[in-house]
A and B are shown apart, each in its own frame.
Chain A
Amino acid sequence: MSSYLTFRILKGLLVVALISVLTFVIMRLMPGDPVFMLLGEGQIPITDAQIEAIRAKWGLDRPYHEQFLVWVVNLLRGDFGTSLIRTGVPVRQMIFEAIPVTALLNLYALALAIAVAVPMGILAAARRNSWIDYATNAFSALGIATPNFWLALMLIVLFALYVPRWFGDLPLIGRIPPFGLRSWQGWILPVIVLATEEMAVLMRITRGTVLELLPQDFVRTAWSKGLSERVVLYRHVVANALLPVVTVIGFRIAFILSGTIIVENVFAIPGIGRLFVDSVMRLDYQVVQSLVVIFAVLVVIVNLLTDLVYALIDPRIRIS
């Protein structure tokens, strides 16, 4: 068991290493020059010597492999370097400022998604062809097909434009701002948008898992023992269904992060996603590279943990 664990950790490290190298290469290949971008692209008269001096200061003139090595060593020491565009600001600080926002947003969205999707999925499977089943399937299909940034825009229009127009200044719904997180109401729409995508997938998985379990022998045994539907459903079926659902949640972390990137952009939320997009556009190497490595490490760790949880809980795997 522990050798499997070590093997997986090593593999994870290799994956992260590979991603780091790839990102480094890609960032260096991008057209444009951060020094020029910083200096306003030719607006300020500046001599070549000064440009060289700035380049030297940031170590951009050293050969590529040297830059890479320097970066990796710093990374391992926890030093993410300083931003090239917001000069002198340590990347670590920028990232740490942005993480809590994104983390909270995702957490709320995930909680909402689980709270709605899992019960509905279970009910839909338990009562096939009922209206709950149809509603769940319809919502799930629509949720998967809807681009989250479009949903975001539609909700913004609805709540910032039409609700005040039709209902006036309602205390809760009427005051939802179209973007920004200045008040707690600002969180409502982004969380809903992020949650919807997850809900759609989770509903499908939960329903599918429960449907697979229902015809199995252990359920029939429970029925024939005379247990009520509630006990059979919750105690036996759901407990077994939760395992695959939990693992799916674990594996979807990477997707949830993708969703955040666009949603943060639409709602102007100062989180990691927006930091990433802005930094890519501005060629802020250090930020992008650091973020990529952090993303990768996060996803690898979560996948590893999910695998572990699965292996620990499922006695079939443990014994084999």
Chain B
Amino acid sequence: MSTSGRQLTRRRALRRFFANRMAVVGLVVVTVLIIVAVFAPAFAPHHPTDDIFRGMRGVGPSWEHPLGFDHLGRDLLSRVIYGARIALTVGLLSTLIAVVIGVVVGAVAGYFGGWIDEALSLLVDALMAFPLIALLIVLAAMLGPSLTTIVIVIGVTVWARYARVVRAEVMSLRERDFVIAAKALGSRDRRIIWRHVIPNVLTSVIVLASLQVGSIIILESALSFLGLGVRPPTPSWGGILADGRAFILRYPHIALFPGVMIVITVLSFNFIGDGLRDALDPHDKR
């Protein structure tokens, strides 16, 4: 029994990925994070918003409360754990939205060319010509801070990068034999795009996506930091950082931990992304 070419590539890629130590570490960390986030009530020792400890405002770490308390007397460990929910939700959902929009736009632009390409490329260029944070700030201020806003706003601004990559790949794929053959057989454009073109660009998209999740998490925390993200008292890492900032010289520990969590999370996603890229690299002979 023979295995298809695609299965072989997949197996080889998996092997290469798991041989990469940092990538595996990243994967483990992310998995743990996802589990903790999903089952937050089981992991968090206290309620993140309702359990207020009188007289413990701004008290630092201790054995029972490893991360200490925030400025209102809430347990920071629980808040940080629940904050992971927001970070991961936004990171993954926004990426999904951005990928969908970006792949569609990029594929259409790259495949059809002509004025469609010109128009879409103009839109992509306009989007990328802009400091992302600025655009996010304006949009978030306009729509009002909330989780939904953040997910949509980030997804709708970040897709440009995927579109560019997909467009370039589709344009090179367009000339390949199997596409020309499909056309000669009379397949409709939509079918060609869906069945032939898009599966081949998915590799690059997946690599790009995993490398981008980290920056999306940072963007979300930046918006929450400015007060444009998830509304308090819902805990998000950026929001806790904002609290920490207000009391930075009095209770410095508040700002420490959410930042560390962000660094760890982003690093892990970056390692995964790097690992995927190296594993799926067609030029690597291993």
Contacts and interface: CB of A to CB of B under 8 A. Distances in A.
Interface of A: 11, 14-15, 18-19, 22-23, 26-27, 29-31, 141-142, 144-147, 149-151, 153-154, 156-157, 160-161, 178, 254-255, 257-258, 261-262, 265-266, 276-277, 280-281, 288, 291-292, 295-296, 299-300, 303
A255 B131 contact: yes
A261 B122 contact: no
Interface stretch (B73-81, B133-141, B189-197, B202-210): B133-141
Contacts of A277: 137, 226
Given A154-B255, A258-B131, 8 more contacts: A14-B122, A145-B263, A149-B241, A150-B258, A153-B245, A254-B130, A292-B130, A299-B131
A31 B144 contact: yes
Contact of B259 (A144, A150, A261): A150
Interface string B141-180: 1101000000000000000000000000000000000000
Chain B interface, DSSP helix/strand/loop, else mixed: helix
Q: Chain A CB within 10 Å — which of B122, B133, B218, B258 has the most?
A: B133
B133 to A, nearest CB: 4
B138 A262 contact: no
Given A141-B267, A150-B259, A261 B134 contact: yes
B222 A295 contact: no
B138 A161 contact: no
Contacts of B266: 144-146
Nearest to A151: B259
B226 A257 contact: no
B24 to A, nearest CB: 16
B130 A19 contact: yes
B235 interface: no
Nearest to B123: A18
B82 interface: no
B255 A153 contact: yes
A281 B259 CA distance: 25
Nearest to B214: A145
